[in-house]
């Protein structure tokens, strides 16, 4: 999660909402690290999770990541939770909860839906204080 937090901090430095994501392989080795790029690309789909899944799949040459784990500093939204299911991620670790936009523990609770094709093991609240402080600082600075 430290690498994901570092990517989130770098994203903040680029003026992006600070969210970072990492995918690790079966042995825990780091396969891909990304930060949110929605502003730079002017692409609302360029969330850290989607980018990190595409990067890990490219590195692996495979569209399934069944033995890989995804670490992200914020609870994934519906788009990203759907992408996590499609990529068959083994375990999802996330930091701050997102009551407004989250789709794992909030809103549609996507992985609890009977039609979901794949359900990772889910561990929320990792480094939660640090992850949410980053977001609070970013939005406070924007408003200030």
Establish if 122 lies at the interface with a copy of itself (CB under 8 A).
no
Establish if 61 lies at the interface with a copy of itself (CB under 8 A).
yes
Of these residues, 37, 49, 75, 128, which one is catalytic?
Answer: 49
Which of the residues 72 through 91 are near a copy of itself (CB under 8 A)? 77-83, 85-88
Contacts of 94 (CB under 8 A, 6+ apart): 71, 72, 73, 74, 75, 76, 104, 122, 123, 124, 125, 126
Establish if 33 lies at the interface with a copy of itself (CB under 8 A).
no
- Applying CB under 8 A, which part among 15-23, 24-32, 34-42, 122-130 lies near a copy of itself? 34-42
30-35 vs 20-24, strand pairing mode? antiparallel
**Residue 105 a catalytic site member:** no
Active site residues: 49
């Amino acid at each position: 999660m430290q690498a994901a937090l570092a990517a989130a901090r770098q994203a903040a430095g680029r003026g992006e909402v600070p969210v970072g994501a990492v995918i690790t392989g079966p042995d825990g080795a780091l396969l891909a690290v990304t930060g949110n790029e929605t502003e730079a690309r002017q692409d609302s789909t360029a969330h850290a999770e989607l980018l990190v899944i595409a990067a890990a799949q490219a590195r692996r040459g495979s569209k399934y990541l069944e033995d890989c784990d995804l670490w992200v500093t914020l609870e994934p939204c519906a788009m990203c939770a759907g992408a996590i299911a499609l990529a068959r991620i083994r375990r999802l670790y996330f930091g701050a909860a997102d009551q407004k936009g989250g789709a794992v523990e909030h809103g549609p609770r996507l992985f609890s839906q009977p039609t979901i094709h794949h359900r990772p093991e889910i561990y929320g609240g990792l480094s939660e204080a640090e992850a949410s402080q980053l977001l609070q600082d970013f939005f406070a600075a924007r408003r200030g």
